[in-house]
A and B are shown apart, each in its own frame.
Chain A
Amino acid sequence: MVVRVQEADFDMVAEMDRMRAGRVDIGALVSFTGLVRGTAAGEAIDAMTLEHYPGMTESALARIEAQAVARWTLQATLIIHRTGRLRPGDQIVLVATASPHRADAFAAAEFLMDYLKSRAPFWKKEGTPDGGKWVDARDSDETALERWSG
């Protein structure tokens, strides 16, 4: 169970290799990589800056991860979230889950993404030719969370 918040880029393949290294009990390894899009609401973006709350970020991610571990059969999980100034096409976030079977790995990866979207203290600011704009939270992100309750 690994949580990392960093400015540096990550190597998804190397991270997945590390998760399964020396193990023969993992049957399913699921990963999600979030990328910076080059447009927002039809407007070109030249950068995306991610701010976070050091200390709280790590504990919030660890708590979300613990919820996933309590809910599904997981053999390993990984969350890497980047901060700082990113460019279109850059990787922002990596979530990976390992389980004996795919259903738990898929579900847990979606759960982790849904929660870190609106329950981990990150804020995105889009840089456009006209200046910067803080990204608004989306109602659809709250809706995505509701399916996990109950």
Chain B
Amino acid sequence: MDVLYFAWVRERIGVPKERIETTAETVADLIDELKSREPRYALAFADIGSIRVAVDQELSEMDTPLSGVREVAFFPPMTGG
């Protein structure tokens, strides 16, 4: 699936988008998998309370399943307007 990062999550991970092959069942599983890969992911996801997620461009939760999902995005709380 494609994994996208925005704002300071993007800056900490260092790329705006990447293709990730994973068997993670939920968003939380995917985060755990990424954190175990490299320190930059562990840094970006250190404070999970300040991470929001969209699954296929819909705001979602940490327990949202990833089966059949094409795109996951991680970002901080939104600050529009």
Contacts and interface: CB of A to CB of B under 8 A. Distances in A.
Is chain A's interface secondary structure helix, strand, loop, or mixed overall?
mixed
Interface residues of B, number: 16
A116 B75 CA distance: 16
B7 A117 contact: no
A129 interface: no
B81 A117 contact: yes
Contacts of A1: none
B81 A34 contact: yes
B6 interface: yes
Given A134-B7, A134-B8, A121 B75 contact: yes
Contacts of A120: 78, 80
B54 interface: yes
A116 B73 contact: no
Contacts, number: 65
Contacts of A118: 77-80
Interface in A88-103: 92-93
Contact of B76 (A55, A59, A93, A134): A134
B59 interface: yes
A92 B59 CA distance: 23
A119 B78 contact: yes
A55 to B, nearest CB: 6
B57 interface: yes
Contacts of A124: 79-80
A53 B75 CA distance: 10
7 tightest CB-CB pairs across the interface, nearest first?
A122-B80, A137-B77, A123-B7, A56-B57, A117-B81, A120-B80, A135-B79
27 contacts: A51-B6, A51-B7, A53-B6, A53-B54, A53-B57, A53-B73, A53-B75, A55-B57, A56-B73, A59-B57, A93-B80, A117-B78, A117-B79, A118-B78, A120-B78, A120-B80, A121-B6, A121-B78, A122-B78, A123-B75, A123-B76, A123-B79, A124-B79, A134-B8, A134-B79, A137-B76, A137-B78
